Amino acid sequence: MDQERIKRLRRAMRAAKLDALVLRLPENLVMAFGVWPLNGFTHGLFTAADGPVLLIAPSCENEEMGGAWARATEWFMWPRLGMGDPRAAIHQALSKAARNGRLTRGRIGYEGSFEAVAPAHNAGEVLVPCEGSIAWLKSIVPSARWIDATDLIHAQRALKTEGEIERLRLAHRVADLGLKRFHQVVQPGASEADVAGAVYTECLARGTRLKSVRHVNVFPQVSSGPNAHRAWRPIVSTGKRRLRDGEMALLELAVCVDGFWADVTRVRVAGRPSTIQEAAFHAVVAAQKAAIDCMKAGVRASWPHEAATDVLRQAGFGEDVVHLTGHGIGFRYHEPEPFLMPGNAQRLKAGHVCSVEPGLYNRAWGGIRIEDNVVVRREGVEVLTHAPKRLT
């Protein structure tokens, strides 16, 4: 059990005068209960008095729920012949726990305003609480006062504990496997899908062999040639286009290991790079170093972006800078704190985890981005990514 996380969350709940939290989103169950659900149908009751009290989970996930921090787990049958109504089972378990915990007149927080969510292990069909399910949840304890605790949850997630950082190190070990494989398979004639498939297989096959890894999800996106100049978008379409000699390949790679995320990027030229590609690559590497070098607790979140952009402008690439330099990461692919972007006066804090990803995008020669993830410390940062940066 991550005792530091439990203490922080209970302390924040007491400050907000919340008696309990009812959580269902997998990313929040990872933080508060230490488990990453397979389907996203699990509910958890966390109280300010006792911490993670109860998990209510489908019986088909009984093996995966081993190691959960909850004092008790209630199982409901799903999805098998002869099962009853799962919602009735959840209703009964939560209602009983609320009575036993004297929460019937309490203040209970819930996930009311999450618009972007991380998937459970079943990433192909994300179960998201909607207006109807929230109304149903409130009906379980109608005499309680239900409070939207989204802001409190986000604030807690923004600063990672040392235990959570250790899990992020593991996720980045898996991501490093994919980055190294990317450099091996980029060559003239390879398709974007070929490259993405090799990266996916490497992360899944070798990543699951690592000690302490249970489940891995992999999301590789590959842009090549003229497609790479649009790789600044939050999602690109990996297709059948084949690399030609001298063309750029850009890999955007997200890896989730037991609910903890890495978001990293590398580039490589198939064959020989052009002079402009080499110059742009070295400028981006230098820009990332400048951003990382200025980061530590207390620094404005805008400064790393300004440092990186200054390097790129001085190298003659100011017109090719189109996006911010970083975002939060950890319990989700993209988290809202901290954003490394112009005008952000927020101060970086020890425990922030974020990407540092300066990039250049030009229709004539493609796109270049180098992305690593870092932990902000009191003096400097810890870089979680260790795969090399090279163009050829």
| Rounded distance between C-alpha atoms, residue 58 and residue 277, angstroms | 52
Residue-level pLDDT at 80:
87
Residue-level pLDDT at 226:
86
Residue-level pLDDT at 331:
98
Q: Which CATH superfamily is domain 3-157 in?
A: Creatinase/prolidase N-terminal domain (3.40.350.10)
| Rounded distance between C-alpha atoms, residue 128 and residue 110, angstroms | 13
Q: What is the mean pLDDT of residues 281-307?
A: 98
Whether the per-residue pLDDT at 289 is higher than 90: the answer is yes
Residue-level pLDDT at 337:
95
Q: What is the mean pLDDT of residues 179-194?
A: 97
Residue 198 binned pLDDT confidence (cut-offs 50, 70, 90): very high
Residue-level pLDDT at 129:
85
Domain segments of the chain as ranges: 3-157, 162-383
Percentage of residues in the chain with pLDDT exceeding 70? 100
Quick: pLDDT tens for 88-143.
999 999 999 999 999 999 999 999 999 899 999 999 999 888 899 999 999 999 99
Residue-level pLDDT at 239:
93
Quick: pLDDT tens for 140-172.
999 999 999 999 999 999 999 999 999 999 999
Q: What is the mean pLDDT of residues 275-303?
A: 98
Residue-level pLDDT at 142:
96
**Which helix (H) or strand (E) segment is 268 a member of?**
strand 260-270
Tell me the whole-structure pTM to 2 decimals: 0.96
Quick: pLDDT tens for 21-70.
999 999 999 999 999 999 999 999 999 999 999 999 999 999 888 889 99
Residue 241 binned pLDDT confidence (cut-offs 50, 70, 90): very high
Residue-level pLDDT at 368:
96
Q: What is the mean pLDDT of the chain?
A: 96
CATH code linked to domain 162-383: 3.90.230.10
280 CB-contact burial (10 Å; exposed 0-12 / middle 13-18 / buried 19+):
buried
Contact 60, 68 (CB under 8 A): no
Residue-level pLDDT at 65:
85
| Rounded distance between C-alpha atoms, residue 121 and residue 101, angstroms | 31
Percentage of residues in the chain with pLDDT exceeding 90? 92
For residue 187 the two structure tokens come to 């060559």
| Rounded distance between C-alpha atoms, residue 156 and residue 5, angstroms | 9
Residue-level pLDDT at 64:
87
Residue-level pLDDT at 303:
98
Q: What is the mean pLDDT of residues 2-11?
A: 98
Whether the per-residue pLDDT at 82 is higher than 90: the answer is no
Residue 236 binned pLDDT confidence (cut-offs 50, 70, 90): confident
